[in-house]
Amino acid sequence: MFSAPQPRSRLYTTAAAYGKGVRAALTGYDRTRGCVEEFERALSEMHGSAHAIAIPMARVGIYLALKHLIRKGQKVVLSPYTIADVVNMVLCAGAEPLFADTEADGSCNIDAAEVERLLAGEQDVGAVLVTHFYGLMCDISRIRKACQARGVPLVEDAAQAFGAHNAEGSAGNLGLAGIFSFGLLKNVTSFIGGALLTRDTALEEKIRKELGGFPVFPARRLLNKMARGAAFDVATFPPVFDTGVYWLFRSAYLNGFEFFKNQLDTDASPRSYSTFPEAYAYRMSGVQADMICAQLMRCRRDTEERIAKAQLYHDGLKDLPRLVLPPMRKDGSHIYLYYPLQWEDRDGLARFMTRRLRDVQISHHRNCASLPCFSAYARDCPNAERAARNLLYLPTYPGYREDQVKANIAAIRAYFREANSWA
């Protein structure tokens, strides 16, 4: 009898977080408002006393930072390899997106040389927005120097890199502003939520003033997010996943049922807009802040476990020709939220692995510079286009066993042997 693999993804949710959310909704939702200040103090202390501001979502932090840093009509340099709503936040802030291609080495991060070229050749650049993708810090030192030389603010999208750090400091704390996400799929989660860091007191005051006019995130919406998380947790709970869910999704995927193709696609229908959505205009609730505080201490331990799995993948796959692996870092500058690799027939590899009873995920990120909804800002970004077409995630989450990592490696090596890809 065939055994199901461990699922491609598990949430970092806890029973305690579910309990806190339900209790708060039933007994007086925002009676824990003081937890927000406690959370902000804890985050500030973690990042060298930078000002920490609780926000409803990371994308709102990007919008608020840019809105209060640039003039209307200025350009914002950013990576095209992202979700559409990041680009939309640039538009909502009154700016024009200026796409800089990603690096060619498999990092999926913005290319520092391309940022330098655009800063030197373009007029009226109001800010540079960098993303630390999949937990890997970009070449922030080089980009920061280029921004400082031209007096251009640097904003960090560290939504996927909470806990990453290099010799200069922590991701999210090296630019004028840095943004974190504590959404459903992140390594620290309050089901939905985020934070903004800045050492600029004037910027902090402007952002706090605007947030002060927003209502608290509604209890009903938080419960809806928690219900989605609970459904995911139940579906990936071993007895349920092993006996039903995996086999259903495997059969549907191999037989081409589109509904099951990628249920983790958070950007299925990208569109463009330039008016800040009213549905985003909230403040973080106290119970969300309390959930985050309870998870901060485990962050480093979880990162170490993911790095160990990344090392296994790297050692097992590094000799395969033309398979593009992410950089192998053990210094904390890559937290390996996933292990993203690139192959020219990504879909063929994913189907082969699925037939071999593996559970992996194709990337849902796109090259926004080539999306029809952003055609007014289109640019040729071949590296971002290649990543969007070729990228596959391998699981690294805490609790994903070493035997599963090795089984993924064995399946990939079998694919290369059978497809004669060594030639």
How do residues 201-232 score in pLDDT, each as one tens digit? Answer: 999 999 999 999 999 999 999 999 999 999 99
The DSSP 8-state label assigned to residue 375 in this structure reads G
DSSP helix/strand/coil, 51: strand
pLDDT at 257: 78
Contact 339, 394 (CB under 8 A): yes
What phi and psi values does residue 197 have, to the nearest 5 degrees? -110, 140
Domains and CATH numbers, the chain: 15-211 (3.40.640.10)
pLDDT at 422: 45
Q: How confident is the model at residue 265 (pLDDT cuts 50, 70, 90)?
A: low
Which own/partner contact pairs does 239-243 have at CB distance under 8 Å and 24+ positions apart? 241/4, 241/7, 242/3, 242/4, 243/4
Among 243, 302, 209, which Cα is nearest to 3's?
243
Among 151, 154, 59, 57, which Cα is nearest to 100's?
154
pLDDT at 423: 37
Distance from the Cα of residue 111 to its chain's centroid: 18
Tell me the CA distances in angstroms from 232 to 225, 290, 337, one per residue in order: 11, 22, 18
User: pTM for the complete prediction?
Assistant: 0.95
What's the whole-number average pLDDT of the chain? 94
Among 113, 109, 102, which Cα is nearest to 133's?
109
H helix runs in 245-379, sequence order: 246-254, 286-293, 299-317, 346-355
Among 133, 146, 195, 197, which Cα is nearest to 333's?
133
In this predicted structure, the answer to whether residue 29 has a pLDDT above a threshold of 90 is: no
pLDDT at 261: 55
Strands 81-82 and 51-55, by their bridges, are unpaired
In this predicted structure, the answer to whether residue 16 has a pLDDT above a threshold of 90 is: yes
Among 362, 375, 130, which Cα is nearest to 270's?
375
Among 370, 312, 301, which Cα is nearest to 339's?
312
DSSP helix/strand/coil, 328: coil
368: which residues sit within 8 A by CB, 6+ positions away?
80, 81, 82, 84, 86, 87, 97, 99, 270, 374
CA 107/CA 114 separation, integer angstroms: 15
pLDDT at 209: 97
CA 215/CA 45 separation, integer angstroms: 27
Tell me the CA distances in angstroms from 73 to 92, 372, 383, one per residue in order: 11, 21, 27
In this predicted structure, the answer to whether residue 260 has a pLDDT above a threshold of 80 is: no
In this predicted structure, the answer to whether residue 32 has a pLDDT above a threshold of 80 is: no
302-316 in b/e form (b: 16+ CB < 10 A) is bbebbbebbbbbbeb
Contact 272, 373 (CB under 8 A): yes
- CB-CB neighbours of 57 under 10 Å: 22
In this predicted structure, the answer to whether residue 47 has a pLDDT above a threshold of 80 is: yes
Distance from the Cα of residue 116 to its chain's centroid: 24
CA 303/CA 123 separation, integer angstroms: 40
Radius of gyration of the chain (CA): 21
Look up residue 342 and give its two tokens.
């690139």
